[in-house]
């Protein structure tokens, strides 16, 4: 058989009208006050001719959604209201009045200013577990009673526009020593082998576009080491004055040493912050998004020790 379209593809193609949004900016990154420009594309497929419609509308929305972890739900019922979604942007724009589009492809250009609702602060885009900050552009085509309304949504990303929106990075080197006596999260210290790991992070305050860098050295360790790992952790807090729920979850884990590393050898630390899953450290009345680094040392018998370091992410 030749590589022509399958029956299913043919059938989907025949199916009437499609709606799409194409943004002019390929990276889809915008700042407060920017014009979000693009085209709404209406396309009819197959035999169908012109498209009747009851108006085409674009809606720009920015929303913070907060969710409780299973362990916090009971705790929170009393003040559930404080967890309602927070609307940061809510604007609409009519791109076509009720009428007809011709058969084939129609492109309607639009320019939509990105403005906050009231005096709201536009926080940076962030995809988390319990906190989500998302900006979307949605196009709706209303149809007559006999045809289904059409809708399409795209996400765009928001970044702070200037230093005034956020704290500036202050380089602050963070030297560390990890040894049995420094561990605060171990109950039975007698089970931990004697060891000493020294090192430093070049800064605990970082521009989100820069990597986390530093180095560590295993100066001494009586047990064989299996692995040394650097974990990036998000700490999300939902709540308010009446109480809050705080949850830490892992974003990514990077192995910096594999096997029983040479004692006295300096091992570099290098970690890039994944966009979407990180944002400048954020603290508001209703929620917080903070980040931490764990250094994890795994011994050959799979015992592990962890040391935790809060870091601060900034945009500028």
What whole-number distance in Å separates Cα of residue 126 and Cα of residue 158?
9
Neighbour tally for 49: CB within 10 Å: 10
E strand or H helix at 289:
strand 287-299
Q: Looking at residue 278, what DSSP letter applies?
A: B
Minimum separation from the CB atom of position 179 to ligand NAG (A)? 47
For ligand NAG, give the closer residue by CB, 286 or 294.
286
Minimum separation from the CB atom of position 92 to ligand NAG (A)? 6
Tell me which residue of 268, 247, 255 sits closest to 296, measured CA to CA: 255
Name every residue whose Cβ is closer than 8 Å to that of residue 136 and which is 6 or more positions away in sequence. Answer: 60, 61, 62, 63, 153, 154, 155, 156
For ligand NAG, give the closer residue by CB, 133 or 297.
133
Neighbour tally for 72: CB within 10 Å: 19
For ligand NAG, give the closer residue by CB, 93 or 298.
93
For ligand NAG, give the closer residue by CB, 90 or 177.
90
What whole-number distance in Å separates Cα of residue 197 and Cα of residue 244?
35
For ligand NAG, give the closer residue by CB, 58 or 295.
58
For ligand NAG, give the closer residue by CB, 87 or 213.
87
For ligand NAG, give the closer residue by CB, 90 or 231.
90
For ligand NAG, give the closer residue by CB, 140 or 260.
140
Identify the residue whose tokens are 């990105």.
114
Kindly report the length of the chain: 316
How much helix, strand and coil, in percent to the nearest 5, is found in the chain? Answer: 10, 55, 35
DSSP-H helix ranges across 116-241? none
Minimum separation from the CB atom of position 21 to ligand NAG (A)? 19
Q: Answer yes or no: are the C-beta atoms of 103 and 50 closer than 8 Å.
A: yes
Minimum separation from the CB atom of position 191 to ligand NAG (A)? 52
Minimum separation from the CB atom of position 106 to ligand NAG (A)? 26
E strand or H helix at 74:
helix 73-76
**Site residues (vs ligand NAG, CB under 6 A):** 87, 90, 92, 118-119
Minimum separation from the CB atom of position 53 to ligand NAG (A)? 20
Minimum separation from the CB atom of position 32 to ligand NAG (A)? 15
CA dihedral for 110, 115, 117, 118, sign (positive or negative) = negative
């Amino acid at each position: 058989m030749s590589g022509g379209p399958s029956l299913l593809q043919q059938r989907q193609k025949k199916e009437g009208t499609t709606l799409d949004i194409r943004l002019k900016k390929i990276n889809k990154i915008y700042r407060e006050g920017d014009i979000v420009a693009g085209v709404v594309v209406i396309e009819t497929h197959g035999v169908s001719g012109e498209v009747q419609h009851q108006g085409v509308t674009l809606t720009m929305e920015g929303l913070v959604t907060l969710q409780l972890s299973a362990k916090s739900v009971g705790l929170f019922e009393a003040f559930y209201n404080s967890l309602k979604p927070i609307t940061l942007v809510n604007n609409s724009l009519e791109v076509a009045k009720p009428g007809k589009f011709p058969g084939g492809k129609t492109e309607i250009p639009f320019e939509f200013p990105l403005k906050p609702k009231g005096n709201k602060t536009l926080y940076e885009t962030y995809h988390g577990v319990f906190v989500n900050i998302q900006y979307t552009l949605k196009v709706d085509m209303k149809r007559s009673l006999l045809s289904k309304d059409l809708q399409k949504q795209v996400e765009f990303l928001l970044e702070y526009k200037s230093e005034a929106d956020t704290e500036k990075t202050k380089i602050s080197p963070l030297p560390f020593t990890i040894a049995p006596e420094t561990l605060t999260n171990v109950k039975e210290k007698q089970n931990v082998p004697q060891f000493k790991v020294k090192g430093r992070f070049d800064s605990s305050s970082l521009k989100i576009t820069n990597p986390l860098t530093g180095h560590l050295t295993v100066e001494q360790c009586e047990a064989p080491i299996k692995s040394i790992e650097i974990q990036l952790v998000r700490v999300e807090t939902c709540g308010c004055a009446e109480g809050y729920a705080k949850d830490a979850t892992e974003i990514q884990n990077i192995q910096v040493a594999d096997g029983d590393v040479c004692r006295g050898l300096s091992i570099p630390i290098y970690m890039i912050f994944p966009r979407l899953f990180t944002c400048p450290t954020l603290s508001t009345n209703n929620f917080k998004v903070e980040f931490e680094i764990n250094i994890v040392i795994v011994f050959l018998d799979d015992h592990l020790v962890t040391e935790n370091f809060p870091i601060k992410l900034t945009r500028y």
